[in-house]
Amino acid sequence: MSQLLYQLDDASLAFPPLNSALTEPNGLLAVGGDLSSARLLSAYSQGIFPWYSEDDPLMWWSPNPRAIIDISQLRINRTLAKAIRKAPYTITLNQDFTQVIQLCADAPFRQDETWILDDMQAAYIGLHQQGHAHSIEIWQTDENNNNELVGGLYGVAINGFFSGESMFYKRSNTSKFALIALGQLLQSVGINFIDCQLLNPFLADMGAKEISRVAFLQKHQQAITKQVPDDFWHARTLTIN
C-alpha cells in the first residue's frame, strides 16, 4: 500500500493534492514527515490530519466523506438538557490541556490501543503552548474540595476552524458536556461547525453528519479566514445552557 502513497519530503511541508487520497482505506493521503508544529499547522490549514498506531509509519488523512457537526444542529435531548441543569461540574477552557490529552490517550472506555502516542501528545502539547490547540475540561469537586478532571476534549484551531481530536469521560455525560460547551463557545463568535474528522456512534448521536470532501473544504476555507478575538482562547470558566 505504501508504494501507492505520497512520501512526504522531510525538507518540505508540501502535501499532495487531496483528491489523490486513497478510497480504501478512506482518505489515506501520505506517509512520512514529522509532527513539527509547522507541518501540523500546514496540514490542518488544508483539512489534513495525522492518525496512526504504534509501529505504523506516520500517516496523513483527508477522508471523503468527512464528519462535521453543524453547531445549530447539536443534539441536546430532554434527558441531556435535564442533566445539564443538574450537573455538579465546573467547566473550563484551556485549564489543563496536558491532563486532557493524557486522559484521552488512556480513556477508561477505550478497548483498542491508543493512537495518541507519546510523540503525538508532545506535538499537540507544543501546539497548545503556541496557542493553536485547545482543551475543554469538566471538573468535579469532592467533599474535601479536591477537583478531579472527569471529562474533556481537545482539538486544533486555526482562526474560525476547529478540528476536534479526541475526548474522554469518567462520569456519565461529561464528554457530551464538553462538546456542548465547545459548540456554544464557538457559536458565540459566529463559528457554525466543528470538524469531527471521522463519524462514530457517539458523534452521530450528538448530531454529527457526513459531507463530501468538496463540501467540507468549502466550509473549511470559509472558517479558516474568519478571525476570532485575540483573547478568545484565554483560560477561563465556561457555562452551558
How high is the pLDDT of residue 5? 85
- Structure confidence at residue 2 as a pLDDT band (50, 70, 90): very low
Tens-place pLDDT, residues 69-86: 999 999 999 999 999 999
- Give the three-state DSSP class for 165: strand
CB 16 within 8 A of CB 30: yes
Query: In Å, how far from its chain's centre is CA 108?
Result: 19
pLDDT at 112: 61
Tell which CATH classification among 3.40.50.2300, 3.30.70.3550, 3.40.50.970, 3.30.1360.170 matches the domain 2-64.
3.30.70.3550
Peptide bond into 65 cis (omega under 30): yes
* Beta strand residue intervals within the chain, DSSP E: 6-7, 28-31, 49-50, 59-61, 66-70, 89-93, 133-141, 147-158, 161-169, 193-197, 209-211, 236-238
d(CA 22, CA 19): 8
Average pLDDT for residues 133-152, to the nearest whole number?
A: 93
Rounded average pLDDT over 185-212 = 97
**Helix, strand or coil, per DSSP, at residue 71:** helix
CATH topology assigned to domain 67-238: Aminopeptidase (3.40.630)
Q: Where do the domains of the chain lie?
A: 2-64, 67-238
